[in-house]
Amino acid sequence: MVWVKRGLIIVPAQQAPWIGTHAALPVVRRLDDRDRVYFSSRDAAGRSHIGYVDLSLASGDLLAVAPDPILSPGRLGAFDDAGVTSSCVIDHGHRTYCFYTGWALGKSVPFYLNAGLACSDDGGLTFERVSPAPLLDRSAVDPYLTASPWVMVENGTWRMWYVSGTEWTDAAEGPRHRYHIKYAESRDGLRWERTGIVCLDYRSVEEFAFGRPCVLRDGNLYRMWYSYRGPYYRIGYAESADGIVWARRDSTSVVPPSDTGWDSEMTTYPVVVRRGDRLYMLYNGNGYGRTGIGLALSA
C-alpha cells in the first residue's frame, strides 16, 4: 500500500487552555457529519491531558475545539496522577469507552504506566473513570507495565491489543524500558483475561519499544499499524488471520520520515480509519507529538 502525505492537520497552538506543547496519540471517532479526533497535550508541568477537536478529514477543515479536556491527571497518589494519554475510543451500546494510559512517576525507574478506562454516557462530551484503580494493573503476566490498549468488540467478545513491559535495563542515559504488544479478552470490557499471548515481539536487540497498536478488521484479515523503536520511532505494519498470530510486514503500508520538516526524525503513533474506499492515517512526527498531527491517505 502506498500512502500520500497531506501534511499537518493539527498543530498545538493553545487553541484551548488544555492544549499545550503536544498533540500526541490521535484517536478518530466518526460522528454524523464530522470526525472527532481525541489526542493528548501537555501542560506547563509536562502532564498530559486528553481532549478533542472536530474536523473534516476529507477537507482538513477544523470545525470545533473542546474548551476543556475530557480527562485530566488523576488524584494525588493514583496510577495516573502524572498524566493521561489517549489510546482508543469506541462506542458500544449507549456508552462511549475511552481506553487510555495513566502515568505515575517513579524513583528507581522514571515512570510507571498502567492502562485505564473512562466512560461517557453523553455521547463522548464528558467522561468519568470507571475506577480510581487501573484497568490493567501489574501482574505475573505483566510485571512491569501495561499501556496503550486498542479494543474492538466482536460477537460479544471484547478483544484488546496492548503494550506490556518485559524489563527495565541499565543504559548509558539511565534506565531503559522494554515493551512489546500482547493480547487479552473480556466479556464486558471491564474484567480482562490475560494469559501472556505475545502478538508482536522484538525483532533485534536494538529494538526495545512498541507504540500504541491500531487494529482494523478487513474481511477475513486483521491489519495492525503500530510504531517500533530503535534510535527513533518508525511506523510498522502487520497482518493476521485471527488477530492473535501476526506476521510483521514493516516494509509495506508504512509512512517513512520526510527528508526535512516536522516528521523528518520520526514517524509514530499511527491510527488508521476507513472512509469509503480510502484509508486515512493520522500520525505524529518529531518530538512524540510536539510538532502536531499529520495526515496521510492511501493512494
The predicted model gives 267-283 an average pLDDT of 96
> How confident is residue 254, by pLDDT bands cut at 50, 70 and 90?
confident
Cβ partners under 8 Å of residue 62, min gap 6: 10, 53, 54, 55
What whole-number distance in Å separates Cα of residue 182 and Cα of residue 197?
A: 6
The answer to whether the pTM exceeds 0.95 is yes
> How large a percentage of the chain has pLDDT more than 70?
100
> How confident is residue 253, by pLDDT bands cut at 50, 70 and 90?
confident
- Residue 76: in which H helix or E strand, if any? none
The predicted model gives 69-80 an average pLDDT of 98
Task: Tell me which CATH homologous superfamily contains domain 3-298.
Answer: Glycosyl hydrolase domain; family 43 (2.115.10.20)
What pLDDT score was predicted for residue 140? 97
Residue 13's SS3 state is: coil
Contact 102, 116 (CB under 8 A): yes
What whole-number distance in Å separates Cα of residue 166 and Cα of residue 286?
A: 26
**Of 90-99, 174-183, 251-260, where does mean pLDDT reach its minimum?**
251-260
What pLDDT score was predicted for residue 60? 84
What whole-number distance in Å separates Cα of residue 5 and Cα of residue 281?
A: 9
Q: Please state the domain extents for the chain.
A: 3-298
> What does the block give as the cell for 151?
479494543
pLDDT, one tens digit per residue, over 117-157 is 999 999 998 999 999 999 999 999 999 999 999 999 999 99
59 pLDDT more than 90:
no
11 pLDDT more than 90:
yes
What pLDDT score was predicted for residue 187? 97
Residue 289's SS3 state is: helix
Mean pLDDT of the chain: 96
pLDDT, one tens digit per residue, over 155-208 is 999 999 999 999 999 988 899 999 999 999 999 999 999 999 999 999 999 999
What pLDDT score was predicted for residue 172? 87
The predicted model gives 272-285 an average pLDDT of 96
Residue in 213, 179, 205, 198 with CA at minimum distance from that of residue 246: 198
Distances (CA, A) of 70 to 73, 86, 110, 166, 269: 11, 10, 26, 31, 20
Cβ partners under 8 Å of residue 172, min gap 6: none
Cα 288 to the center of its chain, rounded Å: 12
> What does the block give as the cell for 65?
475545539
Contacts 24+ apart (CB under 8 A), 107-114: 108/175, 109/168, 109/175, 109/177, 110/174, 110/175, 111/82, 112/79, 112/145, 113/145, 113/146, 113/147, 113/163, 113/165, 114/79, 114/80, 114/138, 114/145, 114/146, 114/147
> How confident is residue 299, by pLDDT bands cut at 50, 70 and 90?
confident
